[in-house]
């Protein structure tokens, strides 16, 4: 793909977006037909073969984020996510990043860690020496258990041992089997190796191997993303580029010392990364676990990103974190949705996909922080939220946009308000008794001037539930409006 920029992509409508992707060769003719048919990408029969007790297929929006330039290559990124603003945010950030060459990403080999805990083996230092002396034998045995992995250029690479004191005072030795899984997620392969090695390790150590399973703290599969934003392009509305830059740096500083802020900061990063993981059939829960464990690696939970001001005034962003994903494997092969997502991503290897996901994470972090230090996140979020509320209220397509605008103007983004505005507009569209053609006005407000007295309420619990007509805990206010 020569260019990932698509002018006014968000204005094209569903069919237009699908056609654009097909014309660029990002999806197959079959993909396009399925997407245009409104049929689910994953059929119930296929889902029933994936997990247990299937009763249906739960849908989430599949979107794409254009504009990405990563290591000089253009990408249109598939994202599966239900939260408004995420796709728009990363697309906008990616567009700005192009001004200085896009995102630059480096990565380590795709190493997965298999863990085996050895107990009741006597002196831990002696056990570690015995295992170190049998390192070559154990690696050879591990690779015999997964010969296909070795043939694809991967396989068991090394063994590490650590001693740990258990809560009851006993010593345990933890063995790490480092496995390069190449383009596979690799969990099954590494678990098979660990289970197959257990009896050999018990023979060598004289102890008992308890757990034999991968670790989701994949800190041997790191991505390192960097981006530069010239201060001249950072300004937004009434806020200068310098204000935005300094605000982002300060917000990141807070997240580096305050775990409460860091949790929200990192959740924003994962908003982008998880969406790509789901779209490409990867285990987003594993990626999440690794990210948050890595954020607390020094004993305090901190921000995964670092933002700073360069000597020339530019804003510099950096993200280092573990991302271990795959582009081949059983779950991806059995889910046609994942195949479609991978085709859109256009990544040739698991490492390339991890690097792209890292760029999306840093883009999402920038978009969120830029909004927070300028107009706040609710301004853009509320318009998208209003569309969700209007859809939930069953507003007809022909008046949908006007109802959304009316809710935002009124400040009441609620289902009852959507229905009220919808009824008003539908009444205006009904044929008039005098035979005149009905004219749909743009004014959907109920009154230009507020008069009279009304009661009110204070919602104590369940503000979001109220939006969707669910029960809340509230206190009444008599004569709340005068």
CATH number of the domain enclosing 142: 3.30.70.420
Is the same domain home to 225 and 116?
no
Instruction: Report yes or no on 209 lying in a domain.
Output: yes
pLDDT for 417 equals 92
d(CA 137, CA 186): 22
Instruction: Report yes or no on 3 lying in a domain.
Output: no
Is the same domain home to 426 and 407?
yes
| pLDDT range class, residue 470, cuts 50, 70, 90 | low
pLDDT for 449 equals 43
Taking CB atoms within 8 Å and a gap of at least 24, the contacts of 311-316 are 313/230, 313/231, 313/242, 313/245, 314/100, 314/228, 314/229, 314/230, 314/231, 314/245, 315/228, 315/229, 315/231, 315/234, 315/244, 315/245, 315/248, 315/249, 316/226, 316/227, 316/228
Look up the CATH number of the domain holding residue 316: 3.90.770.10
pLDDT for 323 equals 99
Is the same domain home to 273 and 177?
no
Is the same domain home to 65 and 42?
yes
Is the same domain home to 79 and 176?
no
Which of 131, 136, 274 minimizes the C-alpha distance to 198? 131
Instruction: Report yes or no on 340 lying in a domain.
Output: yes
- Give the active site residues: 83, 267, 283, 381
Instruction: Report yes or no on 67 lying in a domain.
Output: yes
Residues 6+ apart with CB under 8 A from 386: 404, 407, 408, 413
The pLDDT tens digits for 70-128 are: 999 999 999 999 999 999 999 999 999 999 999 999 999 999 999 999 999 999 999 99
**Quick check: 36 and 18 in contact, CB under 8 A?**
yes
Is the same domain home to 203 and 344?
no
For residues 266-287, average pLDDT: 98
Is the same domain home to 284 and 310?
yes
The pLDDT tens digits for 291-337 are: 999 999 999 999 999 999 999 999 999 999 999 999 998 677 889 89
Instruction: Report yes or no on 1 lying in a domain.
Output: no
| pLDDT at 445 exceeding the cut of 90 | no
For residues 207-211, average pLDDT: 97
| pLDDT at 254 exceeding the cut of 60 | yes
pLDDT for 54 equals 96
Residues pairing with 214 in the sheet: 114
Sign of CA dihedral 154, 160, 165, 170: positive
Q: Which of the pair, 3 or 452, is modelled with greater confidence?
A: 3
Instruction: Report yes or no on 310 lying in a domain.
Output: yes
Q: What is the mean pLDDT of the chain?
A: 91
Domains held by the chain: number: 4
Q: Which of 329, 360, 375 is the last residue of a domain?
A: 375
Instruction: Report yes or no on 101 lying in a domain.
Output: yes
Q: Which of 193, 215, 237 is the last residue of a domain?
A: 215
Q: Which of 13-27, 85-99, 154-168, 457-471 has the lowest mean pLDDT?
A: 457-471
Domain hosting 407: range is: 376-446
Per the document, the length of the chain is 482
The pLDDT tens digits for 134-146 are: 999 999 999 999 9
| pLDDT range class, residue 429, cuts 50, 70, 90 | confident
Q: Which of 215, 236, 258 is the last residue of a domain?
A: 215
d(CA 290, CA 181): 17
The pLDDT tens digits for 315-328 are: 999 999 999 999 99
Residues pairing with 104 in the sheet: 226
pLDDT for 34 equals 92
For residues 151-180, average pLDDT: 97
Instruction: Report yes or no on 428 lying in a domain.
Output: yes
With a pLDDT cut of 70, the percent of the chain lying above it is: 87
Is the same domain home to 139 and 191?
yes
Is the same domain home to 273 and 159?
no
| pLDDT range class, residue 443, cuts 50, 70, 90 | low
Residue 354 main-chain phi, psi, to 5 deg:
-60, -40
| pLDDT range class, residue 157, cuts 50, 70, 90 | very high
Is the same domain home to 22 and 157?
no
Is the same domain home to 277 and 197?
no
Is the same domain home to 203 and 231?
no
The pLDDT tens digits for 346-379 are: 999 999 999 999 999 999 999 999 999 997 656 5
Which of 185, 184, 180, 164 minimizes the C-alpha distance to 116? 164
Task: Render 2-68 in DSSP notation, one character per residue.
Answer: -----TTGGGSHHHHHHHHHHHTTSS-HHHHHHHHHT--SS-HHHHHTTSSS--------EEEEEEE
């Amino acid at each position: 793909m020569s260019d990932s920029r698509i002018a006014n992509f968000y204005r094209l409508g569903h069919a237009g977006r699908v056609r654009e992707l097909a014309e660029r060769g990002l999806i197959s003719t079959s993909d396009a037909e399925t997407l245009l048919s409104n049929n689910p990408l994953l059929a119930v029969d296929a889902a029933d073969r994936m997990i247990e007790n299937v009763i249906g297929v739960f849908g989430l929006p599949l979107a794409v984020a254009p504009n990405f330039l990563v290591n000089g290559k253009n990408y249109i990124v598939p994202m599966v996510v239900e939260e408004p603003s995420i796709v728009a945010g990363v697309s906008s950030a990616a567009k700005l990043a192009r001004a200085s060459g896009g995102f630059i990403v480096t990565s380590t080999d795709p190493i997965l860690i298999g863990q085996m805990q050895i107990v009741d083996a006597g002196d831990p230092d002696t056990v570690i020496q015995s295992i170190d002396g049998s390192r070559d034998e154990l690696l050879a045995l591990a690779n015999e258990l997964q010969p296909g992995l070795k043939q694809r250029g991967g396989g068991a690479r090394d063994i590490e041992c650590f001693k740990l004191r258990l809560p009851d005072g006993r010593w345990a030795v933890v063995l790490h089997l480092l496995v390069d899984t190449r383009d596979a997620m690799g969990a099954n392969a590494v678990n098979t190796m660990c289970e197959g090695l257990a009896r050999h390790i018990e023979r060598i150590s004289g102890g008992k191997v308890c757990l034999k399973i991968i670790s989701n703290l994949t800190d041997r599969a790191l991505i390192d993303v960097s981006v530069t934003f010239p201060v001249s392009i950072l300004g937004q509305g009434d806020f200068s580029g310098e204000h935005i830059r300094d605000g982002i740096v300060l917000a990141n500083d807070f997240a580096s010392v305050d775990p409460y802020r860091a949790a929200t900061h990192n959740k924003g990063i994962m908003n982008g990364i998880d969406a790509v993981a789901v779209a490409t059939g990867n285990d987003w829960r594993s990626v999440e676990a690794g990210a948050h464990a890595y954020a607390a690696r020094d004993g305090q939970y901190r921000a995964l990103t670092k933002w700073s001001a360069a000597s020339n005034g530019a804003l510099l962003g950096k993200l280092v974190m573990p991302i271990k994903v795959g582009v081949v494997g059983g779950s991806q092969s059995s889910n046609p949705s994942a195949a479609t997502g991978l085709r859109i991503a256009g990544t040739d290897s698991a490492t390339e996909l991890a690097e792209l996901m890292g760029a999306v994470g840093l883009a999402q972090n920038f978009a969120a922080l830029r909004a927070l230090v300028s107009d706040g996140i609710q301004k853009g979020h509320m318009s998208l939220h209003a569309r969700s509320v209007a859809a939930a209220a069953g507003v007809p397509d022909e008046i949908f946009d006007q109802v959304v605008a009316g809710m935002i103007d009124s400040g009441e983004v609620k289902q009852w308000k959507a229905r009220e505005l919808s009824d008003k507009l539908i009444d205006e569209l009904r044929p008039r008794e005098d035979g005149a053609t009905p004219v749909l006005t743009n004014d959907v407000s109920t009154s230009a001037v507020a008069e009279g007295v009304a009661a009110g309420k204070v919602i104590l619990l369940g503000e979001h539930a109220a939006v969707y007509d669910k029960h809340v805990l509230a206190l009444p206010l008599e004569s709340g409006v005068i």
